[in-house]
Structure 1
Amino acid sequence: MLLLNQLNKIRFKDILMVLNIKRNHITNVMQKLNVKGRSQAVVELIKLGEITI
């Protein structure tokens, strides 16, 4: 049971680390696009031809 508890803590920390990395990446992209939100970022990326819908 103790081992399972430790594994769950490690997995939770890994999940938090991945979420922080993704959040940092999104923030960096928004700064480079000079936009204030994710919606504006999507619009800008469409205008630049980087993504299509």
Structure 2
Amino acid sequence: MSERPHHRSLLTGREREIFQLLVKDFSTKEISQQLNISEKTVRNHISNTIQKLGVSGRAQALIELLRLGELSLD
């Protein structure tokens, strides 16, 4: 029996929601409206994810999350 049906995600649920919207080209403002949170909170989640990944910006974070299979383009 397989012990790894789902690997443990690097992202929290909220971080995943935010990056899925970033992949779809939503702005910080649009994401904050969609998720009913402040723009500052959106930016904080993005910054936390960038730090976790050890990359230098949101574009690199998106690429790395796609490469790791944490996000998809669908």
How many residue pairs match? The answer is 38
Query: After TM superposition, what 4+ stretches of structure 1 lie above 2 angstroms from structure 2?
Result: none
Deviation at 1:52, TM superposition (A): 1.5
Structure 1 residue 42 corresponds to structure 2 residue 62: yes
C-alpha deviations, 1:2-53, integer Å up to 9, x for none? xxxxxxxxxxxxx8x7011111110000000000011100110011101122
Instruction: Give TM-score scaled by structure 2 length.
Output: 0.47
- In the alignment, structure 1 segments of 5+ residues that lack a partner are 1-14
| Counterpart Cα distance in 1 of 2:58 and 2:42 | 13
- In the alignment, structure 2 segments of 5+ residues that lack a partner are 1-32
Give the counterpart letter for 1:38 in structure 2. Answer: R
Greater radius of gyration (CA): 1
